Amino acid sequence: MKASLFCTTRYEGPSKKGVWPVPADPYSAEIAQKSYQRWMSHIELGDELGFDYVTVAEHHFAPFSMSPNPLILAGVLTQKLRNAKIALLGPDLPILNPVRVAEEIAMLDTLTGGRVIAGLMRGSPNEYVTYNINPAESRERFQEAIQLIRKAWTEPQAFGWQGRYYDYRTVSIWPRPFQKPHPPIFISAATPESGEFAARNRFGVGFAFTTLQIAMKAADYYREQAREFGWEPSPDDVIYRMSFHVAETDDQAIEDLVAAGVQASLGLGMTNKAIESAVAGSGYYGRDIETQRARLQSRGEIRDRIENGQLLAGSPETVLKQIIRVRDAIGAGMLDLSLGAPTLGEKARKSIELFGTKVLPRMRSL
């Protein structure tokens, strides 16, 4: 198995909460600059430790990821990374010019000597609103754009394109992709339609912001469809995204995540009765029961996320066992990993180091 370190470029200062788009009045340019610098240092560390990919993505109007243009971030990384491939999980095609995307990815592929992975995404409804694109058109726009991009990469002669959404009199991109016939293409296969489209076109697939159970079904359907089209995906054709935090012991990893305020993305947790029973038997005499309730709630949510296949957390040995479970369930050859406790400074960096030195070498043989 292989591993990718996801560069989320989170804003590491106070920000407002609520419905997207997030108001920017607490924004600090200095904090934003330091946030980018910290994330770049994490990515450089991951490259030094042997992570196979680093990942950038596209998001808009929110502090959890200051990456409105992942191609710019990838351009910076071409000058910093020496070994890792750069995985573009984004750009979001329905809101962009596909010929421009084809040119820019080809340029990145040339700059890196063929170390670009082309994750071409549909994006999310809020991103269509950002650029005034009808969400009902997103699937058809995406599918037409990706076919246009592939032709731009592979057709040596100038050609015209007249589709439903895109119309170009003549296309002939320079530079051409370094990889032949083009960089590996990955798309999301979260729906049956996208899984069938990926299988029909022999694309790799990725799963993110989901659960192990849902991803298992989607991966099985993708492979079934691929067989219908006469080919068999390899483990390297499947990417699964989750977060991670590695510490010297299981207890320390959980404590770190509790301190970082990690919450379950699906809102799962311990019931009030379970929390009260745990507090009563925990030996926290004389302490504020509400404080312990909050801590145990967080612990329950963290364990739910581990069980759901959304989080790797624990000692290196424990995390490796969790990885084996994910591999056996989905058949993924690549884990795309975001920091589970990115705000913890040196502990976040230590987590990357432990994963790179104690987990990643053992993943190679899985």
**pLDDT at residue 260 in the model:** 87
In a domain, 265, yes or no: no
In a domain, 275, yes or no: no
In a domain, 217, yes or no: yes
Is the distance from CB of 91 to CB of 102 less than 8 angstroms? no
CATH of the domain at 164: 3.20.20.30
Residue 283 has pLDDT above 50, yes or no: no
Containing domain of residue 39, as a range? 2-250+312-363
**pLDDT at residue 262 in the model:** 65
Pairing mode, strands 53-56 and 85-92 = parallel
Residue 70: cis peptide before it, omega within 30 degrees of 0: no
In a domain, 28, yes or no: yes
Question: Which range among 238-242, 275-279, 306-310 shows the weakest confidence by mean pLDDT?
Answer: 275-279
In a domain, 262, yes or no: no
**pLDDT at residue 306 in the model:** 95
Largest CA distance in the chain: 78
Compute the mean pLDDT over every residue in the chain, rounded to the nearest whole number. 89
pLDDT tens digit sequence for 114-157 = 999 999 999 888 888 878 889 899 999 999 999 999 999 999 99
In a domain, 230, yes or no: yes
Instruction: Kindly write down the DSSP assignment for every residue of 110-175, as one continuous string.
Output: HHTTS-EEEEEE---HHHHHHTT--GGGHHHHHHHHHHHHHHHHH--S-EEEE-SS-EEEEE--SS
Residue 211 in tokens: 């659960």
In a domain, 274, yes or no: no
Residue 291 has pLDDT above 50, yes or no: no
Residue 286 has pLDDT above 80, yes or no: no
Per the structure, how many domains does the chain have? 1
Confidence of residue 267 (pLDDT cuts 50, 70, 90): very low
**pLDDT at residue 150 in the model:** 98
pLDDT tens digit sequence for 9-56 = 999 999 987 778 899 989 999 999 999 999 999 999 999 999 999 999
In a domain, 267, yes or no: no
Give, for 192, the enclosing helix (H) or strand (E).
helix 192-201
**pLDDT at residue 298 in the model:** 57
